[in-house]
Amino acid sequence: MADHDRSDVDHKKSRKGKHRVDSAEGLLERQMPQAVDAERGVLGSLLLLPEKFDEVALILRPDDFYDDSHACIYHHLIEMHDSGKQIDPMLLVQHLRDAGDYERIGGAAYIAELGESVPTAAHAEFYAQKVQEKATLRALIQASTDIIRDSYDPTIDSRQMLSRAEERVFSILEEKGNSQVTSIREVLQESLARLDARMRSDHTAGGVETGFEDFDEMSGGLRANELIILAARPSMGKTALAMNITEHAAIDCQAPTLFVSLEMSKLELGDRLLCSRARVNGHRLRNGHISKEESQLLIRTANEISSAPLYIDDTPGRTMTEIAAAGRRLKRRHGLSLVVIDYLQLIEPDNSSDPRQEQVSKIARRLKGLARELSVPVLCLAQLNRQVESTRDNKPQLSHLRESGAIEQDADIVMFVHREEYYQTNEEDRARVRGEADLLIRKQRNGPTGDVKLTWLHDFTRFTNAAPEPHEEFASFGGGGGGDEF
């Protein structure tokens, strides 16, 4: 290609790129969405009929107004309303004078004009909704502008930028969404529906089953909007228990589940899931010493679980922003019933300069917020501190939660995995308690606390329901009269 031809092409490309930038700049320079007439309608309605204030207050905040003088007037109306003062044009004028805002909003003439701007206050809520719609659009434009500006910053990681952008957009939905006030009639209808389901022997109605019958009976399963903390010392089996719960929810109940693993890789989790489900010794699988029959069993198991709605994120160093983004995307695309996170202390803080205790407190608070936002249970694993090993019976308590009491405060359920076998040094004592495990429920906001007996199958890294203890009359059957033993 000749130099002048190449130059002409480059010039056209340059002009084309410049045109796109100019168009974007022109778009951002357009007047922001607004509904000034509706703003006047809101304020005029409140001056005509102050009783409408409570309905409007559930929809609008002062910063939802486009006109600064309208925002100022609404702010003063809120102060008057909250302090129990009567609201009328003359009292509002005096309130504005006392605060030094009288001239700023246009004086008494403008207050009188507002009072005459609407013939009736009947449409106050309609006006308020119009104002909020425009405020939401302005917030979206501002967020988009910030995202565009930050995207040009070469120092920002693209993954971090994507998470930040999604968080900005979803924060608008949370802030601008209308307050939901529900009548007791609607609440009781839902409660009775759940009661009816329980009476039909579905004790986990409305909750995700864990597969551990005594726990499900005690808790009603893992409930939407709840944060469940499962904590233990290392090597107690908390990841195994979380995987068992995940397996039952996603495979047996077909409940879409997100498993966020900050410690183990997805391949390690896949191996563990296969061996646990197929009851094949995991150590022999890793060494390649499994039999042909076991190999065929693993293949059949893989086919069985491959279509399960289970999704694994093993990206290390995830922040709460990124975990929340993954959960939102999954819920939009496939639905979501359960989020499992392994484990809390490995979640990267949003601000690494904060003291560690404050970091963990913020993470715990956001985990609870995530459960409510997605309306699913969030099961999060956590580490216990070493103090548990200095207690007489080695059993963990709430005070042993590592690094922050806020974990206990924000959680709806706190439970611990305990295996006495781990602490026994004498072989005879170890043999006596081998395979025994306890799930210690030490906090349950909406139910009882207590201990759930489990059985630990070490070869398969799996917990199962403990075998029921024989009734006393059958336990002694045939043992008292010297007859034959069964």
Q: What 3-state class would DSSP assign to 159?
A: helix
Q: What 3-state class would DSSP assign to 97?
A: helix
pTM of the model: 0.65
Burial of 452 from C-beta contacts in 10 A (0-12 / 13-18 / 19+): buried
Does the pLDDT value for residue 202 go beyond 60?
no
**Choice among 14-23, 183-192, 234-243, 427-436 with the minimum mean pLDDT:** 14-23
Give 349-401 as a DSSP string: PS-TTS-HHHHHHHHHHHHHHHHHHHTS-EEEEEEBPGGGGGSSS----GGGB
Domain 32-171 class, CATH top level: mainly alpha
**Choice among 187-201, 272-286, 302-316 with the minimum mean pLDDT:** 187-201
pLDDT interval class at 28 (50, 70, 90): low
Amino acid (1-letter code) at residue 323: I
| Domains in the chain: boundaries | 32-171, 207-469
Mean pLDDT of 411-435: 84
Residue 143 pLDDT: 86
Q: Which of 408, 405, 418, 404 is nearest to 445 (CA)?
A: 408
Q: Cite the DSSP H helix spans in 101-183.
A: 107-115, 124-151, 158-176
Q: Which of 227, 243, 321 is nearest to 276 (CA)?
A: 243
Cβ-contact 227, 414 below 8 angstroms: no
Does the pLDDT value for residue 50 go beyond 80?
yes
Of 14-28, 77-91, 450-464, 466-480, which one has max mean pLDDT? 450-464
Give CA–CA dist 373/363, Å, rounded.
15
Using the structure block, give the residue that is written with the tokens 């329980």: 198
Burial of 349 from C-beta contacts in 10 A (0-12 / 13-18 / 19+): middle
Residue 336 pLDDT: 92
**Choice among 49-58, 157-166, 311-320, 407-416 with the minimum mean pLDDT:** 157-166
Give CA–CA dist 172/156, Å, rounded.
22
pLDDT digits (tens, 9 = 90+) for 103-131: 888 888 888 888 787 878 888 889 998 99
pLDDT interval class at 16 (50, 70, 90): very low
Residue 469 pLDDT: 61
pLDDT digits (tens, 9 = 90+) for 330-377: 888 888 999 999 888 888 887 777 788 888 888 888 899 899 988 899
pLDDT digits (tens, 9 = 90+) for 53-103: 878 887 888 889 999 999 999 988 888 887 778 888 888 888 888 888 888
Give 439-477 as a DSSP string: EEEEEETTS--EEEEEEEEGGGTEEEEPPPPPPHHHHTT
pLDDT interval class at 191 (50, 70, 90): low
The mean pLDDT value of the chain amounts to 80
Residue 441 pLDDT: 92
Cβ-contact 374, 336 below 8 angstroms: yes
Give CA–CA dist 318/347, Å, rounded.
6
Burial of 257 from C-beta contacts in 10 A (0-12 / 13-18 / 19+): buried
Residue 427 pLDDT: 81
Distance from chain centroid for Cα 271 = 28
In b/e form, how buried is each residue of 154-170, taking b as 16+ CB within 10 angstroms? Answer: eeeeeeeeebbbbbbee
CB atoms within 10 A of CB 174: 9
Residue 26 pLDDT: 57
Give CA–CA dist 138/144, Å, rounded.
10
Q: What 3-state class would DSSP assign to 16?
A: helix
* H or E element in which residue 76 lies: helix 68-82
Cβ-contact 438, 483 below 8 angstroms: no
pLDDT interval class at 197 (50, 70, 90): low
pLDDT interval class at 20 (50, 70, 90): very low
Does the pLDDT value for residue 475 go beyond 50?
no
Q: What 3-state class would DSSP assign to 436?
A: strand
Domain 207-469 class, CATH top level: alpha beta
| CA dihedral for 21, 170, 179, 86, sign (positive or negative) | negative
DSSP state letter for 250:
I
Q: Which residue has the higher pLDDT, 251 or 81?
A: 251
Residue 6 pLDDT: 47
Give CA–CA dist 182/164, Å, rounded.
32
Give CA–CA dist 191/185, Å, rounded.
10
pLDDT interval class at 470 (50, 70, 90): low
Does the pLDDT value for residue 203 go beyond 50?
no
